[in-house]
Structure 1
Amino acid sequence: DEYVSVERYQEHYRAAPHLCFGYFDGEKLRGFLRGGSQKGEHLPPDLCGAQHDPDGETMVLHLLCVEEQSRRRGIGQGLMKAFIDYVKAKETKVKRIILMCHAELIPVYTRVGFTLVGRAEVKFGKRSWYEC
């Protein structure tokens, strides 16, 4: 119920290719991260993960995924660090970086410096989302 089509991913990539990061092992993609900026400090309720406003002051880490057999090897943390470093160095309009995640992933994001804001109003799938 949280499915995003290949076509949507391609649309996201075309909107902000510089905010898409991958971790490769040879030619095999093991992890992927996608961001996009928006206006407003918090996630809007109708967020579907596609938005990118080049004039936005809030950077949203929309997607982070690491293939199951490659987890717990620092790939996700490495992608997040690279993304955060890039945003701080190159996205001069951005004042904050936020994300949404499920409850069980809050510790993953707080370990790399995010702070739990609270339950997000986002409606995507059946599970609750939290903003960090």
Structure 2
Amino acid sequence: MRIDKYLWCVRYYKTRNMVTEACKKNHVTVNGQVAKPSREVFLTDKITFRKDQITHIITVLDIPENRVGAKLVDIYRRNDTPAEAYAHLELLKLSKEHYRKTGTGRPTKKDRRDLDDYTPDFEDEEELEEND
């Protein structure tokens, strides 16, 4: 089976076109070699690909005939991705939410005024220096 079809069948990518683009950008390797979308995949091949800032490492256990359901994916592949990669992704998500919670929208006038009160106003400092 082709690498683009395999990664689509085991639900790592939503469309085959997305897999093809990843292959063209050299994000997909099979047994340490950069793979074109038409590269054949066989049992026990190690596939490494970068997606969502994680380098996934999977081993092919079986070849599916068609796209499989999410519950059946583990029959066809073994996930060898280290746990640290997923922990790093969680850390990135938390760091993004630290500044502003997701879904809170644009800052309000009150938020801006609070920020203005918190940060020093350089114009006021210049006026004070002129008066001295």
TM-score normalized by structure 2? 0.28
Of structures 1 and 2, the larger Rg is shown by 2
Which structure features the higher share of helix residues?
2
Query: 1 or 2, which has the higher strand percentage?
Result: 1
Ranked by relative contact order (alpha carbons within 8 Å, sequence separation 6 or more), the top structure is 1
With structure 1 as the length reference, what TM-score do the two structures score? 0.28
